[in-house]
Amino acid sequence: MPGRGGDNGAGPGRGRVDLALLHYPVVNRQGETIGSAVTNLDLHDLARAARTFGVERVYVVTPYVDQQELFREILDHWLTGPGGARNENRREALSLVRICADLDEAVARATGRQGRCPLLLSTCAKEAGPVWPYAQVRRRIRAGESFLLLFGTAWGLAPRVLERADGLLPPIRGAGDYNHLSVRSAAAIVMDRLLGDDREAI
């Protein structure tokens, strides 16, 4: 059932793209699996970029109930509280965010909303296996395929998430070997690469 597009400004025929920001399981500098804490600006920056590029939902994934509560308080401030009343653009962006206990819940929600399971596409700053080039994924989205993009906080997604994904996007490389981008910067660039206008047209 390709070609349904989405509600968030995506053109007809384009596949639906969702995004999940995982706080567990991710790795620390030593490569050990950990859970990371909420960063308020991650929520804002990812939601604003998602709204800009027509990403349908931003699933914020954490198993920690106190962290889920903190996210909900931040969201309430912007969705129904004084934040949103003061800044309608921010309310609009944060209305795309959903809090999930684990990746399964994010996948189930994405599947339920679009009536089919999206392809899971992970991101990693290191070479972590064969990749699906951006240009290829870009064409598949335009042809109607739907994706759930997975981003990890801390030092990135744990191996078990990378193994579960259907595909892996290439690391973002610039002028050399250094690619220690924040997840906020990396997610913005990935959304632009997959969903932004053709480079020669801008």
* Cα dihedral 102/105/111/117 (nearest 10): 40
* Shortest separation between residue 112's beta carbon and a copy of itself, angstroms: 22
- Minimum gap (Å) between residue 110 Cβ and a copy of itself: 18
Question: Cβ 102 to a copy of itself, closest distance in Å?
Answer: 27
Classify each residue of 118-144 as buried b or exposed e, where b means 16 or more C-beta atoms within 10 Å of its C-beta.
Answer: bbbbbbbbeebeebbebeebeebbeeb
Per CB under 8 A, the segment of 98-106, 143-151, 157-165, 166-174 that binds a copy of itself is: 166-174
Q: Does 18 bind a copy of itself (CB under 8 A)?
A: no
Site string for a copy of itself, 125-164 (x = CB under 8 A): --------xxx--x--------------------------
State which of residues 34, 81, 83, 92 lies at the interface with a copy of itself (CB under 8 A). Answer: 92
How far apart (Å, rounded) are the C-alpha atoms in residues 164 and 86?
Answer: 41
8 contacts a copy of itself (rule: CB under 8 A): yes
Task: Please confirm whether the linkage preceding 82 is cis (ω < 30° from 0).
Answer: no
The residue type of 177 is D
SS3 1: coil
Nearer to a copy of itself, 41 or 65 (CB): 41
- In whole angstroms, the minimum distance from the beta carbon of 177 to a copy of itself comes to 8
Closest to a copy of itself by CB, 1 or 41: 41
Q: Which is nearer to a copy of itself, 34 or 181 (CB)?
A: 181
Segment interacting with a copy of itself (CB under 8 A) among 97-105, 111-119, 146-154, 167-175: 167-175
- Give all strands (DSSP E) within the chain, no chain letters: 17-22, 26-27, 33-34, 58-61, 97-100, 119-122, 147-152, 167-168
**Cα three-residue angle 161-125-47, rounded to 5 degrees:** 75
- Does position 65 bind a copy of itself by CB under 8 A? no
DSSP assignments along 26-60, one per residue: EE-TTS-EE-----HHHHHHHHHHHHHHT---EEE
Residues forming the site for a copy of itself (CB under 8 A)? 8-11, 41, 44-45, 48-49, 51-54, 89-90, 92-93, 133-135, 138, 170, 172-176, 178-182, 184-189, 191-193, 195-202
